[in-house]
Every structure is written in structure tokens, then in C-alpha cells.
């Protein structure tokens, strides 16, 4: 099916529906939506709401502050590119690097696989967790801000009106498609790929499920997502990491939504606890990120947006990630998302 | 007192790094918004001069007699790695300054070459860089006429920093007023320099080489047909189109399918999660022509580079938009350092 056919099918399907609220959970999908201008080809009654699936955005300020303290203490640290620019209470890891801290931006764990004197700031969902597991196997200390997606999705379905989920494609390559059926999420879901045609196709399938009041789960990315997922990766995770409560920036603590190293000697939160136990992490109280992340407010509703809070000096999670954060995108494009 | 290292192993050491935040940041040199704001902060502290013009352009101009202008520019070069597929820092330093003169419409008459070297830097590598510059100088007929060398202690500058300045002369400064409907043309495939560096840095296999090359011949040949030109450097085509729009108080609308992008650039930037439109070029420019001259300009440019393309037009909106195969979205100025996305 070509894209104009997909778009006209979506329009035809949506024509006799009221307002439909679809959450694309994964930041990668949000990026596709923005990159290809998909919002303005969808009918106006289809609302795409960006979910909490930008791992950088939902990493708590307290975790970032702790990591900055570790780096400023002269301990070598490493993390993925995006994370380096995210502000903590007083500065970002990029600022710490600027002050002289040894902060290594990595693209692949291969770059630090033998650096046992470096602490890895691990962020991301199930997609990046297996790599962290590998580092732990190699005896590298990890400060884990890893999160798992389904508990957050359950919280969101209780807190806001949603009609369906576009499930994260890459997360599903690890956990598999079958497992989504066991997550107690009472809404239809379609697992989608990241090319614009794939995403539009998944939106079309989801609309049909919503129309038929079905809560089925469709794997619309079967070329890489298998029913059982990646067993090798799952075992690697099981052997090195365990469930823990996790703080989500803008949402709060969600029970058992995070992962932490099983081996306490490799858990940087425990090993370096003295370095950050007394720091105060202060989130700007006027910041409305929590509501924006949950689709309850628009960037323009926030008093800080564009004045105190800019991409150069972000106050909250939504202004953080240039390609995935709702406020950063709105600022960059000079419009709120609903106008795009 | 314990050494910080011993302390840190027990997790008990105090922070040892100063927290003074009023310092220069890497992002202030990345070609995006932060760099522009630093430059204008500097510029406004210097007194304006009456005879010099185009002080905010790639090169400044100074009238000589009634018909001609001296064009003058200067640029410093740091790059990691200093050798990369298709070139090295010397090639960038030569071509970059030639190109800054060329986009103003000048035929470069001579360059200076200065470098700051670090103690311990390989002489073989140093002379390989020098030989690159020498052969470009010979090939283009643009001589190196003056310069300076300093050596600093090990660890001071990361092997080598080069500065080149250049002078040229032109009759026609490329800063004619533009109109709504004028065409926007790019001289070749974009993002190849940035991709070559990324591929080397991340050890990804590719045959992409830097696009670095002197552009003066292309610009002299098209000069009579174009109104303005700007070479695409840091910040990529996204930054340059926004600069052109802002400078002219106009808008630009481009079509994604018309922007020349090598398959490997597309693939590598997708793998890395990097926006190809924000990636640096070192041998490409964007020019604005009247609709009447667009075809002529394009046919000249295609002799130099078959992928030259008419990518869009000047509008009266005050933004840069890109029409994708799906919808229209904004092509925004890159902000922060360009880094890979996580997922």
C-alpha cells in the first residue's frame, strides 16, 4: 500500500469516528511523526499523544544530579549521546565535562567494554538494557536509570482518556509480542515499525480495532518482532538485573518499573552513595512537564515555556530531548504540537 | 590528605572539580543557535567600521575604486580525527577559506597559513597535511603567501590547530536582493563530510568521503546568474537555509525529495539517529537565483557535480519548511551538540 492510499484509508476510517486519542509510546515514533510532518496529514479528529517513551526525558533529575556528582568527584563516567545534554538541578553532564570531568559519550558499549574504572550511566527501555547487562557481566559498574514500559502504560490508562496504543517496536524485539497480552492494559495495541509508511499502517489498524471496540494486540512489525522476543537478551537481563521501583521525571515513582544491578558491588547507586546522598534535587515547581508528558496540557499552557525554559536552558523533561520532547519540538518549530 | 583517587574508590571523596559555570561550552562552536548568539555578543562589542561592509557575512568587503571590492576572511580549523576518508584538516583549512571568499563572489588571490602544533605531534602527519595544502595550492593557482607557526606543550591543543585567512577581489558582491518565488539551489549531495567523520569515529563501514573541495570555480562560473550564495558548513543545510531566510527577512520552502542525499548518508544517519540536514558539508553551497536563471545555474553546476539540484523557493513566510512525502514540517536550526539519539 502506498502512502496516499494509506492516508485516504485512514481518513475514510476516521470519518465516522469521534475524537480518537492514540498514544505513541515510543520516542522513536514521535520522532517519525515530527520528522515527516505526519500530524498534518491525519484527520483532525485523530489526536496523536506522545507518550513517556523518550528515555532521556523521563530520567529523573535526582538520578542526573547523582551522576553529575560522581563525575565531578573525578570518577570517569560514560553514557549515550542524548543523555549528556540533559540538565540536572544545577548543570548537565555536558557542563560537568566542560568543567573538566571525564564524561565519555558512547554509541555502543563496545567503546567501554574493558574500562572497569568507568561508571556507565544506563538509560533506556528494554531496547538498551541487554547492552547494560553485558557491561555488568564484564564487571563494569552501572548507575541504572533503566525503565520498563508496561507499568507506565498501565498508570497512564488509569489517569487519562486514551483509546489505543501504538506499542514500541524496538522494545518489542526484546520482550516479544506475546508478552503484551499479559500486561493488563485494557486498550487495543498495535506494535509498529518506525518508517512513516509502517507507522501510518499501524495507525490504520489501530483505528479499525478502536472502531470495533476490540482490545486485541496486533504485531504490525513481524519482520523483526517475534512472539517470544529475543531469548538471549532476556536471559542476559535476568542474570544481571532485577526489578526495582523507578522515578520517572514528570510522572513520579512507579513501583517495579525500573531495573537495578543484582550485584551490589557493581551498583553505582550503592558504591558511590556517599557522593550524592546529601544533594538536593529541585525541580522547578511551575514546570508542567508531568501534565504535558501525560497529554493533559500543551507546551503553550506552561508559564515557563519559551521564557525561563528554552532548549538552551531547559527546566523540565519535555524541553530536554531535541528530537522527542514535546516542548523542545514546539519551541523549535515555534508552534504548539496541536498546530503542527 | 588522601589522594582524591583513593577517596573516590570508597565513594567518600568531595567533588574535586570547580563548579564555575560561566565558561565557554562546546555547543557554542557547533554552528547552531548558541554559536550565533556568542558571535553576535562578540561582534557588538567591537566598533563598526564605515568603509568595510558585509561584516556579518562569510567574508567582509572593502571598496577599492568605483568598481571593485577587496574581500577578506579568516577561519580556524579543529577536527577529530585530523585524517578522515577523503581528506585531512589541511584540506578543510584550504578549501574553507577559499569557499568563504567564493560565496561572496570573489576570486581568491592568496591565503595565509598559520598553525599551532602540539609537542609530540608526528612530523610525518604534519607534512602530510602540509603536502595536501601545497597540492591544492598548485592545483588551484591560489598561493600561500604568509603565515605563522607556534608549538605548545603536550596536551595543549590536540595535535594541530590551523588558521587560514584569505583575500580576493570581486566586481560583483553576491548580496543582491531576493524576491518571493526565487529558486533555491544546492550544489551537490549534502552531509557527506559529516557522515565521513561519523563513520570513522564510530568505525562504521562506508565508502563515503568528505565533500571538501574548493568552490571558487563553480561560483565564478555561476556568479552572473545568482543573487546570493552561502557555503554549507557546521549546522548543515538546516542551519544555512535558516541563516539565509533570517538575513533576507524571508522564508524558504524546500522539498525533501529534491534534496540530494547519497544512499549511504541516508543509511548511516538513520542508523545513528542523526539528522542529515544538520550535518556539516565542506564543499557544497546553497545559492538563490531568479526563476529565469535557475535552469542556467543548474546546468553549470551539474558540470561540476551531477547531483546539484533545485530544491525549493523563497516564500514570504518567516520560516524554513520542508515538504516530505507525507506532510509539511519545519526545518529548524540545530541546537546543542549534534549527538546520536538513544532509541
CATH number, domain of A181, equals 3.40.50.11750
pLDDT for A35? 83
In terms of C-beta density within 10 A (0-12 exposed, 13-18 middle, 19 or more buried), how is residue B239 classed? buried
B27 or B315, greater pLDDT: B315
Angle between helices A231-240 and A129-137 (to 10 degrees): 50
Q: Are residues A311 and B23, on separate chains, in Cβ contact within 8 Å?
A: no
Note the maximum CA span of chain A.
Answer: 61
Q: What percent of chain B has pLDDT over 70?
A: 92
pLDDT for A114? 93
Residue in chain A lying closest to B321 (CA):
A333
Q: Alpha-carbon Rg of chain B, whole angstroms?
A: 21
* Conformation bin of residue A301: beta by default, left when phi > 0, alpha when psi is -120 to 50: alpha
Which of A74, A273, A274 has its CB closest to that of B16? A74
pLDDT for B31? 64
Average pLDDT over residues A39-60: 87
Query: Distance between CA atoms of A119 and A60, rounded to whole angstroms?
Result: 18
Query: Distance between CA atoms of B230 and B215, rounded to whole angstroms?
Result: 11
Q: Which residue bears the cell 542508523?
A: B271
The boundaries of the domain holding residue A15 are 1-283
Residue in chain A lying closest to B325 (CA):
A36
List of chain A residues whose C-beta atoms are within 8 Å of the C-beta of residue B328: 37, 40
The size of the A-B interface in CB pairs under 8 A is 148
CATH superfamily of B183-330: PurM-like C-terminal domain (3.90.650.10)
Query: Per residue in A105-116, is it b (16+ CB within 10 Å) or e — as a string?
Result: bbbebeebeebe
Does B19 touch chain A if contact means CB atoms closer than 8 Å? Answer: yes
Average pLDDT over residues B111-134: 97
Residue in chain B lying closest to A323 (CA):
B341
Is residue B335 very low, low, confident or very high in pLDDT (cuts 50, 70, 90)? Answer: low
A335 pLDDT above the threshold of 60:
no
pLDDT tens profile A213-238? 999 999 999 999 999 999 999 999 99
How high does pLDDT run on average in chain B? 89
The H or E element containing residue B34 is helix B33-45
pLDDT for A333? 65
Dihedral (C-alpha) A128, A132, A135, A137: value to the nearest 10 degrees? -120
Average pLDDT over residues B195-217: 90
Q: Are residues B341 and A128, on separate chains, in Cβ contact within 8 Å?
A: no
Q: Are residues A82 and B324, on separate chains, in Cβ contact within 8 Å?
A: no
Q: Which residue bears the cell 558491588?
A: A265
Average pLDDT over residues B31-51: 82
Measured between alpha carbons, how far is residue B286 from residues A247, B240, B281 in Å? 47, 8, 11
Q: Are residues B26 and A84, on separate chains, in Cβ contact within 8 Å?
A: no
Q: Are residues B34 and A312, on separate chains, in Cβ contact within 8 Å?
A: yes
- Residue B313 DSSP one-character state: E
Secondary structure in 3-state letters for A159-199: HCCCCEEEECHHHHHHHCCHHHHHCCCCCCEEECCCCHHHH
List of chain A residues whose C-beta atoms are within 8 Å of the C-beta of residue B330: 332-334
Q: Are residues A196 and B326, on separate chains, in Cβ contact within 8 Å?
A: yes
Q: Are residues B336 and A196, on separate chains, in Cβ contact within 8 Å?
A: no
CB distance A122 to A142 below 8 Å: yes
CATH-assigned architecture of domain B50-170: 2-Layer Sandwich (3.30)
Residues comprising chain A, all counted: 340
Q: Do A98 and A224 belong to one domain?
A: yes
How high does pLDDT run on average in chain A? 89
Nearest-CA distance A332 → chain B (Å): 6
| Residue B233 phi, psi dihedral angles, 5° rounding | -125, -135
Average pLDDT over residues A67-92: 90
A269 pLDDT above the threshold of 80:
yes
DSSP B110-162: EEEEEEEEETT--HHHHHHHHHHHHHHHHHHT--EEEEEEEEE-TTSSSSEEE
Average pLDDT over residues B130-137: 98
A340 or B338, greater pLDDT: B338
List of chain A residues whose C-beta atoms are within 8 Å of the C-beta of residue B339: 81-82, 84-85, 105
SS3 of residue B323 by DSSP? strand
The residues facing A47 across adjacent strands are: A21
Domain boundaries, chain B: 50-170, 183-330
Query: Distance between CA atoms of B211 and B85, rounded to whole angstroms?
Result: 10
CB distance A293 to A318 below 8 Å: yes
Give the range among A141-155, B161-175, B305-319, B328-342 with minimum mean pLDDT: B328-342
The residues facing B144 across adjacent strands are: B111
Nearest-CA distance B320 → chain A (Å): 10
Per the structure, the count of domains in chain A is 2
Domain C-terminal end among A283, A303, A324? A283
B156 pLDDT above the threshold of 90:
no
The residues facing B37 across adjacent strands are: none
Q: Do A25 and A52 belong to one domain?
A: yes
List of chain B residues whose C-beta atoms are within 8 Å of the C-beta of residue A264: none
Is residue B6 very low, low, confident or very high in pLDDT (cuts 50, 70, 90)? Answer: very low
Q: Are residues A74 and B26, on separate chains, in Cβ contact within 8 Å?
A: no
pLDDT for A51? 82
* Conformation bin of residue B107: beta by default, left when phi > 0, alpha when psi is -120 to 50: beta
Which of A56, A98, A108 has its CB closest to that of B23? A98
Query: Distance between CA atoms of A234 and A178, rounded to whole angstroms?
Result: 14
Give the range among A82-86, B100-104, B111-115, B119-123 with minimum mean pLDDT: A82-86
SS3 of residue B107 by DSSP? strand
Measured between alpha carbons, how far is residue A171 from residues A53, A110, A148, A233, A266 in Å? 10, 21, 9, 11, 25
B3 pLDDT above the threshold of 50:
no
CB distance A120 to A93 below 8 Å: no
As for the ipTM of the complex, it is 0.72
Does B169 touch chain A if contact means CB atoms closer than 8 Å? Answer: no
SS3 of residue A281 by DSSP? coil
Does B8 touch chain A if contact means CB atoms closer than 8 Å? Answer: yes
A64 pLDDT above the threshold of 50:
yes
Is residue B337 very low, low, confident or very high in pLDDT (cuts 50, 70, 90)? Answer: low
pLDDT for B336? 60
DSSP A35-94: HTTGGGGS-TTEEEEEEEE-HHHHB-HHHHHHHHHHHHTT-EEEEEGGGGG-B-SS-BHH
pLDDT tens profile B301-324? 999 999 999 999 999 988 899 999
Q: Do A134 and A220 belong to one domain?
A: yes
Q: Do A58 and A15 belong to one domain?
A: yes
Which of B34, B327, B343 has its CB closest to that of A55? B343
Q: Please list, in sequence order, all residues whose beta carbon lies within 8 angstroms of the beta carbon of residue B11, skipping any fewer than 6 positions away.
A: A271, A272, A273, A274, A275
Give the range among A9-18, A165-174, B10-19, B114-123 with minimum mean pLDDT: B10-19
Does B1 touch chain A if contact means CB atoms closer than 8 Å? Answer: no
SS3 of residue A218 by DSSP? strand
List of chain A residues whose C-beta atoms are within 8 Å of the C-beta of residue B325: 3, 36, 196
List of chain B residues whose C-beta atoms are within 8 Å of the C-beta of residue A71: 17
Which residues in chain B belong to E strands, given as ranges? 60-64, 68-77, 83-84, 87-88, 107-118, 144-152, 160-170, 183-186, 226-231, 251-255, 285-289, 309-315, 320-323, 328-330
Query: Distance between CA atoms of A152 and B204, rounded to whole angstroms?
Result: 35
List of chain B residues whose C-beta atoms are within 8 Å of the C-beta of residue A127: 343
| Residue A190 phi, psi dihedral angles, 5° rounding | -130, 125
Nearest-CA distance A67 → chain B (Å): 12
Nearest-CA distance B270 → chain A (Å): 10
B284 pLDDT above the threshold of 90:
yes
Query: Distance between CA atoms of B218 and B284, rounded to whole angstroms?
Result: 10
Give which of B334, B330, B99 is closest to B239, Cα–Cα. Answer: B334
pLDDT for B1? 37
Q: Are residues B329 and A340, on separate chains, in Cβ contact within 8 Å?
A: yes
Angle between helices A196-211 and A3-15 (to 10 degrees): 20
Q: Do A335 and A319 belong to one domain?
A: yes
Q: Do A269 and A306 belong to one domain?
A: no
Average pLDDT over residues B46-62: 85
CB distance A288 to A317 below 8 Å: no
Report the range out of A103-117, A197-211, A314-328 with the highest average pLDDT.
Answer: A197-211
Average pLDDT over residues B264-291: 92
B58 or B288, greater pLDDT: B288
Q: Which three cell numbers stand for residue B145?
A: 603567501
Does B257 touch chain A if contact means CB atoms closer than 8 Å? Answer: no
Average pLDDT over residues B155-177: 93
Measured between alpha carbons, how far is residue A280 from residues A94, A95, A275 in Å? 20, 18, 12
Residue in chain B lying closest to A98 (CA):
B25
Amino acid at each position: 500500500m502506498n502512502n496516499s492510499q494509506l492516508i485516504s484509508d485512514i481518513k475514510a476510517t476516521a470519518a465516522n469516528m469521534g475524537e480518537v486519542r492514540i498514544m505513541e509510546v515510543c520516542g522513536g515514533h514521535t520522532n517519525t511523526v515530527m520528522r515527516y510532518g505526519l500530524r498534518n496529514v491525519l484527520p483532525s479528529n485523530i489526536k496523536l499523544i506522545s507518550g513517556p517513551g523518550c528515555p532521556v526525558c523521563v530520567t529523573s533529575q535526582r538520578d542526573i544530579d547523582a551522576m553529575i556528582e560522581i563525575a565531578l568527584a573525578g570518577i570517569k563516567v560514560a553514557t549515550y549521546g542524548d543523555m549528556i545534554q540533559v540538565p540536572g538541578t544545577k548543570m548537565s553532564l555536558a557542563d560537568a565535562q566542560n568543567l573538566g570531568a571525564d564524561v565519555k559519550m558512547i554509541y555502543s558499549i563496545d567503546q567501554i567494554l574493558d574500562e572497569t574504572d568507568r561508571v556507565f550511566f544506563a538509560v533506556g527501555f528494554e531496547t538498551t538494557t541487554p547492552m547494560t547487562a553485558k557491561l555488568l557481566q564484564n564487571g563494569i559498574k552501572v548507575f541504572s536509570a533503566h525503565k520498563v514500559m508496561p507499568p507506565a502504560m498501565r498508570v497512564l490508562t488509569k489517569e487519562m482518556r486514551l483509546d489505543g496504543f501504538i506499542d514500541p517496536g524496538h522494545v518489542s524485539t526484546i520482550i516479544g509480542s506475546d508478552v503484551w497480552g499479559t500486561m493488563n492494559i485494557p486498550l487495543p495495541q498495535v506494535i509498529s515499525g518506525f518508517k512513516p509508511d509502517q507507522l501510518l499502517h499501524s495507525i490504520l489498524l489501530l483505528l479499525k480495532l478502536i472502531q470495533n471496540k476490540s482490545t486485541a494486540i496486533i504485531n504490525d512489525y513481524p519482520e523483526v518482532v517475534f512472539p517470544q522476543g529475543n531469548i538471549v537478551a532476556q536471559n542476559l537481563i535476568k542474570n544481571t538485573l532485577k526489578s526495582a521501583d523507578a522515578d520517572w521525571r514528570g510522572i513520579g515513582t512507579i513501583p517495579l518499573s525500573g531495573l537495578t544491578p543484582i550485584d551490589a558491588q557493581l551498583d553505582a547507586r550503592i558504591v558511590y552513595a556517599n557522593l550524592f546522598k546529601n544533594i538536593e534535587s529541585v525541580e522547578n515547581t511551575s514546570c508542567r512537564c508531568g501534565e504535558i508528558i501525560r497529554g493533559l496540557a500543551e507546551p503553550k499552557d506552561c508559564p515557563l515555556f519559551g521564557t525561563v525554559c528554552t532548549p538552551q536552558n531547559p527546566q523540565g523533561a519535555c524541553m530536554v530531548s531535541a528530537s522527542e520532547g514535546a516542548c523542545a519540538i514546539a519551541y523549535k518549530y515555534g508552534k504548539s504540537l496541536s498546530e503542527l | 590528605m588522601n589522594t582524591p583517587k583513593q577517596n573516590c574508590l570508597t565513594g567518600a571523596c568531595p567533588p574535586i572539580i570547580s563548579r564555575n559555570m560561566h565558561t565557554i561550552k562546546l555547543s557554542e562552536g557547533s554552528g547552531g543557535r548558541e554559536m550565533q548568539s556568542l558571535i553576535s555578543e562578540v561582534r557588538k562589542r567591537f566598533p563598526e567600521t564605515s568603509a568595510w561592509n558585509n561584516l556579518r557575512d562569510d567574508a567582509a568587503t572593502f571598496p577599492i575604486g568605483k568598481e571593485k571590492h577587496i574581500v577578506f576572511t579568516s577561519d580556524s580549523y579543529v577536527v577529530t580525527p585530523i585524517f578522515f576518508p577523503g581528506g585531512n584538516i589541511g584540506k578543510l583549512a584550504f578549501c574553507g577559506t577559499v569557499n568563504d571568499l567564493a560565496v561572496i563572489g570573489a576570486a581568491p588571490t592568496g591565503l595565509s597559513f598559520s598553525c599551532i602544533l602540539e609537542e609530540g605531534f608526528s612530523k610525518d602527519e604534519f607534512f602530510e597535511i602540509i603536502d595536501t595544502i601545497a597540492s591544492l595550492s598548485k592545483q588551484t593557482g591560489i598561493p600561500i603567501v604568509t603565515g605563522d607557526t607556534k608549538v605548545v606543550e603536550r596536551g595543549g591543543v590536540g595535535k594541530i590547530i590551523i588558521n587560514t585567512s584569505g583575500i580576493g577581489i570581486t566586481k560583483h558582491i553576491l548580496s543582491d536582493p531576493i524576491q518571493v518565488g526565487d529558486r533555491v539551489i544546492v550544489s551537490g549531495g549534502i552531509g557527506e563530510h559529516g557522515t565521513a567523520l561519523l563513520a570513522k569515529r564510530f568505525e562504521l563501514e562506508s565508502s563515503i568521503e568528505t565533500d571538501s573541495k574548493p568552490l571558487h570555480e563553480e561560483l565564478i562560473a555561476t556568479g552572473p546568474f545568482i543573487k546570493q550564495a552561502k557555503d554549507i558548513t557546521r549546522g548543515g543545510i538546516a542551519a544555512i537555509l535558516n541563516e539565509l531566510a533570517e538575513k533576507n527577512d524571508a522564508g524558504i520552502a524546500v522539498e525533501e525529495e529534491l534534496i540530494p542525499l547519497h544512499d549511504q548518508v541516508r543509511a548511516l544517519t538513520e542508523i545513528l539517529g542523526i539528522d542529515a540536514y544538520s550535518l556539516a558539508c565542506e564543499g557544497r553551497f546553497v545559492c538563490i537565483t531568479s526563476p529565469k536563471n535557475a535552469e542556467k545555474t543548474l546546468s553549470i553546476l551539474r558540470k561540476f557535480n551531477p547531483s546539484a539540484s533545485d530544491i525549493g523557493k523563497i516564500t514570504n513566510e518567516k520560516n524554513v519548511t520542508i515538504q516530505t512525502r507525507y506532510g509539511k514540517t519545519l526545518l529548524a536550526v540545530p541546537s546543542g551538540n549534534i549527538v546520536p539519539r538513544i532509541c
